[in-house]
């Protein structure tokens, strides 16, 4: 056992590029045949709807269709980027997405590792089951509870006043600087247990003999966590991180929509909320504007993915493609 | 892992005395860790217990707020209202169970096969096919083109719109692929020497070793299907025979929070049109009632990823 | 073994699915009853399958309509996706999206059917129908609300007012309250003298909802305080005569500044709920339901129906006795406040308010539009109308020897229960309906309008308050002069225009941006510690939205409506 799993894999990823030969193609014909089926499926259900992107360059009216609607060139994009509000919502979306990415990844990993250290199976199972329950509550319910706790008469203000940390109730939900932390916390609260499931599954793939040999070498618990568990999780962490990079601009809609209010709207509104307000207004359905914003999101996401995938490749880490 | 080896060397000397120290260290860690996890569990359990308490409370009383972990005025009426008074819930339950079962099986199979292909180190189009699927995660044509496409494929107003379009999920494939890539090549090579084809390898070597990740993905997909409501609304809005449980629940939840735009501002609506609020208690009961069955699934899958596998033996 | 089981399970489920796919074909059911669908782009509650009154109506009319409502989407998303899915309901109320449906040629014109079905034609006068005409000269929908058969018999005040708990008025011998100063003074005094309810709940002198579009509770009071009716978006000044209306922005008037300054001062004094700016609608209703809030500004329908239940439920007091909030006098009395004492207010306007921006429509997907319109017409027949709003004779209402309908306590309770409504009642609430007196001249179209039914529903302290002021209804209590809004002002209500204004004109964009800035700044100036500075900052941000673009379009609309009326022979009275 010279190597841990991850180093072994890294090498393989980097060196094994099978040269394209007819012989090889014949040998793996079954793989290729199946791949073709998947490509056809993917084209139908994922790539065909992308034709709709044309709408972003039109003043799309449903009755006239894509062929009949008026062309407006880049007007919709100009409208977006000339609107200071749109720039603000990009900032908000990005900030909340990034905070959420960092914290939910770190906390979920920490939780998975700590849970893995529990020896008592019953306790372990119970904690894990409990931890993932809030995932099934809708945001409406979670936000109602968060709201309830943070109002002037809520439990948080009550406690702070009891311990004389503050004399007057603090308006957490009316303060712009508190909005992002509250959103991040709400996410953690609801999703940590759920996010940890994937890491717990990945931990099972770590070769138990690694722990044994580490023990023989006199490694303590922290060392084992640091030098066996964490490296064992590395491929999973990298893959999830890479994929979630592309989701930074999908920071969400419902949570911010429900939690926000007039006082904090400068920091609470995300791109999706903006689209809802401006493009999905029943009085003037502007699918073109919504599509333009969607294209912008996709372009940014793909850029993130390509760059981080490139970096991962350079570093010899797990990568997406 | 030069780090580990360096550590190993430095630790060689003080073997015995360390063992004792480690035992106390261990104990302290266990205590702290347990306390931490228990606290964590309490914090995460609170919203669920709160919802549970409200679901057993009288509606008019609950509106006043202030219910935390225990109902003030007990009643079972909310559950009666949710489960027994609504046809939609019954039809929805049937469809949801069906789509969860069928959807999970088909999706798991589809994802596993694609992951298998993508995790074959010798596969010629590995990178290209991966990129092809990664793109699908971020590029979306949007609601309208998708709707139009499904209409032409005759997927609207049908049950199969729940199963077929979402069968392959790039996210799940990437997770599975990563896991499969961790299975040593030696196994595949040995099987190939014995004349096994790719399908044999997939079925008799990779699949048994992938139980934890299969369980994880099955859980993800099952929960996705169980919780879905948007597709039911979008594609089967006027086909109540294909409604889903969560769509019915959502209708209950939303009569409170739906924004109706400026429509009724200033109009003199009749009371019958305005009074659409669902008591918070009914919402809570609906949430608990739909949560319970899917949570019951968890312990069955849990053993695959909590216990861990002894794949160490086959590794070398 | 396991795999086999799974495969078997999968096969079984597929069979099950395909079997009930087969029997799902809808349309005409055996008994000759046509099934239609309806979508309303509003929140609402679905009726159960086999709803009793729905079945009775189906037996009589041969039509059964399955209604569905907005869920998890806004009206725009819903209308957009319904259009794209190509599957439209037979009836639709598109709300704000009605115009989009029209633009996509998805609605059937009412015109030929209006001639065929006098019931429908009777809903509006020729002039009113003209207001519904689209730019192609045809009528595509009819708004169904607030339309009185003959006279306005309104007992309630569905609109906006500053509301105050009856017990506050009672405590000080029912004083006359005309201005904000008097209003807040009495609230403050009462809160100091009675800081708690019998169960220990702390009172909140004043709260104000400002969530989402319901921030009108905070926003539009200056319009009323200046003595103008609810045009919703602007003041229409008629100082130069009703035929020379001038649009004025109520956001920048001296009254507006004075009003917000007043709120700012009261907030600093602790008389306004510290959470007013962040509360959600649910929290607001929860707060009101505890009986703790002494005063508020809102439209009646927005809060009153939701607190009736809690107010009528016994609560335990700290001394162990039990009490009810409505009997304690927590019910709200409307006050028609004005900027200065002695001014005339128009918080309440009489007569119908026509909202031509949306309404009930029949879509091109309907296979038998004639049947659909016939059904709409039948719904207005008195027997069906009574079934919809009064229910079944002897089950939901009783008839006395004079043929007058009335309800007993149990019947009233039933009609408040959600499950009873889902199972039994069928209002078809977004389809044509009447208010006012029935065609027999004895009864009322809708129970809530019957003065006795109305009074029977009032708690003792509320009755006492009405008596003390010598008024018998909410509408009288507000104290607005008897002005038929829409008759006196041909453009009234202008919100029927501004609610439907789209963001593809400069005025529309300005209107939207003004809304966004107001959302942020109005609560901010109320809680501000430096009012003047923040007010100026607000005014700067507000002016940057170019409100003049909006005002110009508003003026144009007023002129247009005035001209249409004049063409129909309207003259300033």
Complex confidence, ipTM:
0.84
- Is residue C491 within 8 Å of C562, Cβ to Cβ? yes
pLDDT tens-digit series, residues B266-280: 333 444 444 445 667
Are the Cβ atoms of B134 and A52 closer than 8 angstroms?
no
Say yes or no: A287 contacts chain C, CB-CB below 8 A.
yes
CB contacts of C107 in chain A (<8 Å) are none
pLDDT tens-digit series, residues C185-235: 999 999 999 999 998 889 999 999 998 888 899 999 999 999 999 998 999
> Comparing C34-153+354-453 with C160-347+458-567, is the CATH topology the same?
yes
Enter the CATH code of domain B87-257+272-315: 1.10.3720.10
The pLDDT, as a whole number, for residue B61 is 76
Are the Cβ atoms of A62 and C527 closer than 8 angstroms?
no
pLDDT tens-digit series, residues A22-60: 888 888 899 999 999 999 999 999 999 999 999 999 988
- Per CATH, domain A5-18+79-315 is 1.10.3720.10: yes
Q: Nearest-CA distance from B268 to chain A in Å?
A: 21
Torsion sign across C-alpha atoms C80, C83, C89, C95 = positive
Say yes or no: C230 contacts chain B, CB-CB below 8 A.
yes
Residue C539: burial class (beta carbons within 10 Å; 0-12, 13-18, 19+): middle
Q: What backbone torsions phi and psi does residue C37 show, to the nearest 5 degrees?
A: -120, 155
Mean per-residue pLDDT over chain A, rounded: 87
In B, residues 22-51, which contact A (CB 8 Å cutoff)?
Answer: 22, 25-26, 29-30, 33-34, 36-38, 40-41, 43-48, 50-51
Under DSSP, is residue C67 helix (H, G, I), strand (E, B) or coil?
strand
> What gap in Å lies between CA C228 and CA C243, rounded to an integer?
16
Torsion region of C391: left, alpha or beta (phi above 0 gives left; psi -120 to 50 gives alpha): left
Hunting for tokens 């009666």 — which residue is that? B80
Q: Which fold has domain C34-153+354-453?
A: D-Maltodextrin-Binding Protein; domain 2 (3.40.190)
CATH class, C160-347+458-567 region? alpha beta
pLDDT tens-digit series, residues C393-449: 999 999 999 888 988 888 887 887 767 888 899 989 899 999 888 888 888 888 877
The pLDDT, as a whole number, for residue B12 is 44
Say yes or no: B234 contacts chain A, CB-CB below 8 A.
no
Facing C278 at nearest CB: one of A173, A280, A283: A173
Size of interface B-C (CB pairs under 8 A): 219
Confidence of residue B264 (pLDDT cuts 50, 70, 90): very low
Nearest CA in chain B to A281: B261
Higher pLDDT, C451 or B3: C451
Mean pLDDT of the region C522-531: 95
Nearest CA in chain C to A60: C104
On the question of pLDDT at B1 being above 60, the answer is: no
Are the Cβ atoms of A320 and B134 closer than 8 angstroms?
yes
Confidence of residue B192 (pLDDT cuts 50, 70, 90): confident
Facing C277 at nearest CB: one of A262, A276, A284: A262
pLDDT tens-digit series, residues C136-181: 999 999 988 878 887 766 777 888 999 999 999 999 999 999 999 9
Domain ranges of chain C: 34-153+354-453, 160-347+458-567
Are the Cβ atoms of C74 and A263 closer than 8 angstroms?
no
CB contacts of C353 in chain B (<8 Å) are 266-268
In C, residues 397-416, which contact B (CB 8 Å cutoff)?
Answer: none
> What gap in Å lies between CA C369 and CA C88, rounded to an integer?
13
Under DSSP, is residue C322 helix (H, G, I), strand (E, B) or coil?
strand
Are the Cβ atoms of A282 and C520 closer than 8 angstroms?
no
Q: What backbone torsions phi and psi does residue C362 show, to the nearest 5 degrees?
A: -110, 135
Nearest residue to A242 (alpha-carbon basis) of B223, B306, B186, B131: B131
Burial A18-35 (b: 16+ CB within 10 A, else e): eeeeeeeeebbeebbebb
The two structure tokens encoding residue C10 = 């999968």
Least confident of C424-433, C453-462, C560-569: C453-462
Say yes or no: C436 contacts chain B, CB-CB below 8 A.
no
Size of interface A-B (CB pairs under 8 A): 283
């Amino acid at each position: 056992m010279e190597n841990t799993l991850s180093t072994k894999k890294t090498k393989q990823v980097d060196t094994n590029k099978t040269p394209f030969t007819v012989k090889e193609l014949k040998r793996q014909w079954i793989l290729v045949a199946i791949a073709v089926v998947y490509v056809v499926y993917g084209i139908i259900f994922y790539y065909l709807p992308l034709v709709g992107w044309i709408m972003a360059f039109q003043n799309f009216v449903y009755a006239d269709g894509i062929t009949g609607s008026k062309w407006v060139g880049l007007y919709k994009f100009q409208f977006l980027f000339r609107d200071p509000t749109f720039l603000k919502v990009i900032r908000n979306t990005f900030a909340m997405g990034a905070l959420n990415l960092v914290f939910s990844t770190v906390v979920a990993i920490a939780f998975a590792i700590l849970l893995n250290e529990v020896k008592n199976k019953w306790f372990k199972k119970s904690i894990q089951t409990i931890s993932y329950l809030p995932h099934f509550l809708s945001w409406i319910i979670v936000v109602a509870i968060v709201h309830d706790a943070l109002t002037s008469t809520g439990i948080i203000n009550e406690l702070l006043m009891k311990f004389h940390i503050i004399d007057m109730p603090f308006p957490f939900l009316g303060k712009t600087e508190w909005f992002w932390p509250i959103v991040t916390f709400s996410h953690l609260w609801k999703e940590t247990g759920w996010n940890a499931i994937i890491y717990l599954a990945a931990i099972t793939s770590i070769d138990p003999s690694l722990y044994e040999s580490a023990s023989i070498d006199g490694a303590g618990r922290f060392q084992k966590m640091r030098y066996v568990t964490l490296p064992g999780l590395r491929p999973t962490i990298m893959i999830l991180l890479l994929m979630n990079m592309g989701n930074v601009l999908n920071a969400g809609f419902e949570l911010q929509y429900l939690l926000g209010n007039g006082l904090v709207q400068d920091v609470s509104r995300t791109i999706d909320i903006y689209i809802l307000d401006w493009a999905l207004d029943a009085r003037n359905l502007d699918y073109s504007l919504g599509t333009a914003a969607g294209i912008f999101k996709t372009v940014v996401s793909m850029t993130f993915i390509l760059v981080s995938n490139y970096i991962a490749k350079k570093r010899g880490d797990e990568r997406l493609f | 892992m030069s780090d580990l080896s360096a550590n190993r060397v430095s630790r060689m000397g003080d073997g015995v005395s360390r063992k004792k120290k480690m035992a106390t260290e261990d104990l302290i860690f266990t205590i702290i860790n347990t306390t931490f996890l228990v606290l964590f569990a309490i914090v995460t359990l609170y919203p669920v217990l709160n919802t549970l308490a409200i679901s057993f409370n009288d509606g008019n009383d609950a509106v006043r707020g202030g219910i935390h972990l225990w109902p003030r005025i007990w009643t079972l009426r909310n559950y009666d209202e949710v489960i027994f008074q609504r046809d939609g819930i019954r039809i929805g339950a049937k469809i949801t169970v069906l789509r969860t079962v069928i959807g999970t099986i088909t999706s798991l199979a589809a994802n596993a096969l694609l992951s298998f292909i993508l995790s074959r180190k010798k596969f010629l189009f590995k990178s290209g096919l991966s990129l092809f699927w990664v793109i699908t995660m971020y590029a979306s044509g949007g609601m309208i083109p998708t709707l139009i496409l499904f209409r032409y494929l005759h997927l609207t107003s049908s049950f199969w719109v729940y199963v077929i379009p979402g069968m392959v999920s790039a996210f799940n494939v990437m997770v599975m692929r990563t896991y499969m890539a961790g299975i040593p090549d030696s196994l595949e090579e040995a099987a190939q020497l014995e004349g096994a084809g790719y399908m044999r390898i997939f079925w008799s070597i990779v699949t048994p070793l992938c139980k934890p990740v299969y369980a994880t993905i099955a859980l993800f997909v099952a929960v996705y299907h169980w919780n879905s409501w948007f597709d039911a609304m979008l594609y089967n809005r006027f086909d109540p025979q294909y409604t889903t449980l969560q769509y019915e629940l959502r209708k209950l939840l939303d009569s409170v929070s739906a924004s109706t735009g400026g429509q009724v501002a200033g109009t003199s609506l009749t009371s019958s049109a305005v009074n659409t609020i669902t008591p918070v208690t009914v919402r809570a009961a609906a949430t608990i009632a739909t949560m319970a069955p899917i949570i019951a699934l968890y312990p069955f899958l849990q053993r695959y990823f909590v216990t861990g596998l002894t794949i160490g033996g086959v590794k070398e | 073994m396991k795999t086999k089981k799974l495969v078997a399970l999968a096969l079984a489920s597929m069979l099950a699915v395909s079997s009930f796919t087969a029997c799902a074909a809808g349309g005409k059911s055996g008994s000759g009853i046509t099934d239609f669908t309806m979508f309303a782009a509003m929140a609402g509650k679905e009726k159960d399958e086999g709803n009793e009154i729905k079945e009775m109506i189906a037996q009589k009319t041969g039509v059964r309509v399955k209604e569905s409502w907005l869920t998890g989407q806004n009206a725009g998303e819903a209308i957009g996706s319904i259009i794209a899915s190509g599957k439209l309901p037979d009836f639709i109320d598109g709300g704000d999206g009605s115009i989009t449906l029209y633009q996509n040629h998805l609605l059937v014109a009412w015109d030929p059917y209006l001639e065929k079905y006098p019931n429908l034609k009777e809903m509006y006068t020729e002039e009113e129908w003209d207001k519904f005409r689209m730019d192609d000269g045809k009528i595509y929908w009819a708004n169904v609300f607030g339309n009185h058969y003959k006279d306005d018999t309104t007992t309630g005040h569905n609109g906006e007012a500053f509301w105050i708990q009856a017990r506050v008025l009672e405590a000080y011998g029912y004083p006359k309250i005309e201005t904000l100063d008097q209003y807040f003074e009495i609230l403050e005094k009462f809160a100091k003298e009675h800081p708690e309810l019998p169960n220990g709940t702390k009172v909140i002198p004043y709260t104000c909802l400002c969530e989402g579009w319901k921030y009108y509770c905070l926003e539009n009071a200056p319009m009323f305080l200046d003595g103008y009716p609810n045009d919703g978006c602007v003041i229409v000044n008629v100082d130069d005569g009703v035929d020379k209306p001038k649009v004025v922005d109520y956001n920048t008037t001296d009254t507006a500044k004075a009003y917000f300054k007043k709120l700012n001062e009261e907030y600093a004094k602790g008389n306004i709920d510290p959470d007013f700016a962040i509360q959600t609608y649910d929290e607001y209703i929860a707060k009101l339901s505890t009986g703790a809030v002494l005063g508020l500004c809102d439209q009646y329908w927005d809060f009153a129906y939701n607190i009736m239940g809690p107010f009528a439920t016994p609560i335990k007091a700290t001394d162990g006795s039990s009490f009810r909030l409505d009997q304690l006098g927590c019910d709200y009395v409307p006050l028609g406040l004005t900027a200065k004492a002695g001014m005339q207010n128009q918080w309440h306007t009489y007569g119908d308010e026509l909202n031509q921006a949306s309404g009930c429509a029949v879509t091109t997907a309907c296979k038998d539009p004639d049947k659909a319109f016939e059904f709409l017409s039948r719904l207005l027949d008195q027997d069906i109308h009574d079934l919809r709003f009064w229910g079944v004779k002897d089950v939901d209402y009783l008839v006395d020897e004079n043929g007058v309908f009335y309800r007993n306590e149990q019947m009233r309770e039933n009609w408040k229960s959600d499950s009873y409504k889902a199972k039994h009642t069928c209002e078809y609430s977004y389809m044509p309906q009447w208010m006012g007196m029935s065609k027999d001249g004895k009864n009322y179209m809708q129970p809530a309008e019957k003065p006795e039914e109305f009074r029977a529903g009032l708690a003792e302290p509320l009755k006492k308050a009405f008596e003390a002021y010598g008024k018998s209804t909410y509408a009288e209590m507000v104290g607005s002069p008897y002005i038929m809004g829409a008759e006196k002002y041909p453009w009234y209500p202008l919100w029927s225009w501004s609610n439907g204004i789209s963001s593809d004109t400069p005025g529309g964009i300005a209107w939207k941006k003004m809304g966004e800035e107001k959302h942020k700044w109005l609560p901010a100036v109320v809680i501000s510690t430096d009012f003047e500075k923040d007010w100026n900052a607000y005014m700067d941000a507000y002016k940057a939205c170019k409100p003049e673009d909006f005002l110009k379009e508003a003026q144009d609309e007023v002129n247009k409506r005035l001209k249409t009326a004049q063409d129909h022979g309207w003259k300033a009275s």
